[in-house]
Amino acid sequence: MVWGPILRDTVSGSGFAVGQRPPIPSRFYDPIYFRLFDDLGQMTLEEQLLSIESELFGDGDLEWADTGQFSMIGDGEVQVSMNANYISNPSSMLFRVENGVVTQSMGTGLFAGLLPTLGSSGTSFNFTLPSELTLNYTLPAFNGDVEFDFGGAGGGTIPAPGSAAVIAIAGLVAMRRRRAHAGQASPQA
């Protein structure tokens, strides 16, 4: 399974009336789940393969382009997590900027050595991340169907004889107050 990034979030200006709660920061969550079903159609397992979260804490701009270029202007956070229980190449990333200073910078697997160092300061951070995330996974044995859920905006049930099913996804995620997913799923032996 391949996830190809086009992630963008912009926050510009905000206001609230006296006595109202301040606006909630801009936060996006883009998971990929799988669900296994037995031959009677009962779900036997639901797990997350990939989680991508981003948040801007005020005015700013965050982008992870399909070329792999990543930029963040302002304060915010990006987290990526791949489930090590099912993915053969598990990787994770946590990058957080507060008051113009990198307060968390951790990358493993595909993200190792790619992030700015802890304590770096600035109003803008630019670096290169992978231009796609390949999820080589192994699912537990099952006798029914497998269903993949792509952030709640897509997915489908695919008949599969067992955990040897491979799903090829050309995933495209665009976030700018709206999510759009484009993809195709097909079983392969």
Q: What is the mean pLDDT of residues 98-105?
A: 95
pLDDT at 134: 87
The mean of the pLDDT values for the chain is: 74
pLDDT at 175: 28
Q: Which of 80-84, 139-143, 150-154 has the highest mean pLDDT?
A: 80-84
pLDDT-derived band at 3, boundaries 50, 70, 90: confident
pLDDT-derived band at 5, boundaries 50, 70, 90: low
Determine the Cα–Cα distance for residues 50 and 137; give it in Å rounded to an integer: 11
Mind giving me the DSSP string for 98-135?
Answer: ETTEEEEEEEEGGGTT-SPPTT-B-SEEEEE--S-EE-
Q: Is the pLDDT of residue 188 over 50?
A: no
Percentage of residues in the chain having pLDDT higher than 90: 40
Q: Is the pLDDT of residue 164 over 80?
A: no
